[in-house]
Copies of this chain bind each other. A is one copy, B any other.
């Protein structure tokens, strides 16, 4: 995988510089670590703040989702590396308007430790924090250990739903509760066809033969459930849907949103080919599809592959999902 780069050391700084320069109406750098992105126009005062954070290399995740009806601030690390506790504390400060801050992010060891530590740091400044972890990747642990699962594209639903709740003026406990409900309603699985290259490492995250794929692989190249011959689009989609529906069965009348997400290089053409099968499987289950999201919502730079996410909705979640939001990568309403 070839990359267009300058000095790999400066990858994230240059990326953030370009991003804030291209979209000054959405994003600004906050603080002096250079790794915290906040809304260009701060949210309403008295609104619950929502922060996230994690490694770079997943645009639009994480920084891209800072915006109205979504996140207030985000701390971003090097590619695939957690930002520091200090940077996360800065993001929390940027998000706080004295109604407390929800930390909403993916379940990765480093991120959890750092966000916990960041919470201890800002406690001294009287900022109240709550936490909701996304753990939606069904391939990363069996259902009995669901709390150990990694957080992947499901976080986009959680950002959207929690963001809408905060925008409505709900208090910290209420925003946290609905974010947890959204997190619990999400199941994801990925399939990778090719690796990506972490700029500072300079070599692909893993090796895979030209005719192979890996089912269940994580977004940093974490091992999946099987590696084998590349299957057809319909077979891939079918197996991914089987695995998701086994973990979260749907019954007649259920309402569900589904994301068919490119991990990066896989073009929309192929996502649409997959979507036919996704739709027919959901309809076979008797479910109604609400706001299907087909595109690049959570990526690993130039990795080829896809992930599917199901988000099972009740009336509250559906209403919040449909509420307006606006950032450089996604707009609803």
Question: A259-289 interface mask toward B, CB cutoff 8 Å, 1 = contact, 0 = none?
Answer: 0100011111111111110010000000000
Copies of this protein, total: 2
Q: Say yes or no: B2 contacts A210, CB within 8 Å.
A: yes
Contacts of A331 in B (CB 8 A): 331
Q: Say yes or no: B268 contacts A265, CB within 8 Å.
A: no
Q: Say yes or no: A1 contacts B304, CB within 8 Å.
A: yes
Contacts of A299 in B (CB 8 A): 267
Stretch at the interface among A13-21, A148-156, A167-175: A13-21
Given the known inter-chain contacts A19-B272, A272-B19, A274-B18, please indicate yes or no for A302 contacting B5, CB distance below 8 A.
no
Given the known inter-chain contacts A56-B269, A266-B302, A273-B15, please indicate yes or no for A232 contacting B5, CB distance below 8 A.
yes
Contacts of A314 in B (CB 8 A): none
Tell me the bound Cα distance from A22 to B273 in angstroms: 10
Tell me the bound Cα distance from A69 to B15 in angstroms: 32
Q: Say yes or no: B269 contacts A301, CB within 8 Å.
A: yes
Contacts of A271 in B (CB 8 A): 18
Tell me the interface secondary structure of chain A in the complex. Answer: mixed
Q: Say yes or no: A15 contacts B232, CB within 8 Å.
A: no
Is residue A146 within 8 Å, beta carbon to beta carbon, of the partner chain? Answer: no
Interface residues of A in 202-235 (CB under 8 A from B): 210, 213, 230, 232-234
Contacts of A4 in B (CB 8 A): 193, 233, 236, 266, 270, 273-274, 306
Excluding A4-B233, A15-B269, A264-B265, 7 further A-B contacts by CB distance (< 8 Å) are A1-B265, A4-B236, A4-B266, A11-B273, A15-B273, A22-B275, A265-B304
B-contacting residues of A (Cβ < 8 Å)? Answer: 1-6, 11, 14-19, 21-23, 56-57, 59-60, 64, 193-194, 210, 213, 230, 232-234, 236, 260, 264-276, 279, 292, 294, 296, 299, 301-302, 304, 306, 331
23 A-B pairs with CB atoms under 8 Å apart are A1-B194, A2-B194, A2-B210, A2-B304, A4-B273, A5-B232, A5-B270, A5-B273, A14-B233, A15-B272, A17-B276, A18-B272, A18-B273, A18-B275, A21-B275, A22-B279, A23-B294, A56-B269, A57-B267, A265-B265, A265-B302, A267-B299, A267-B302
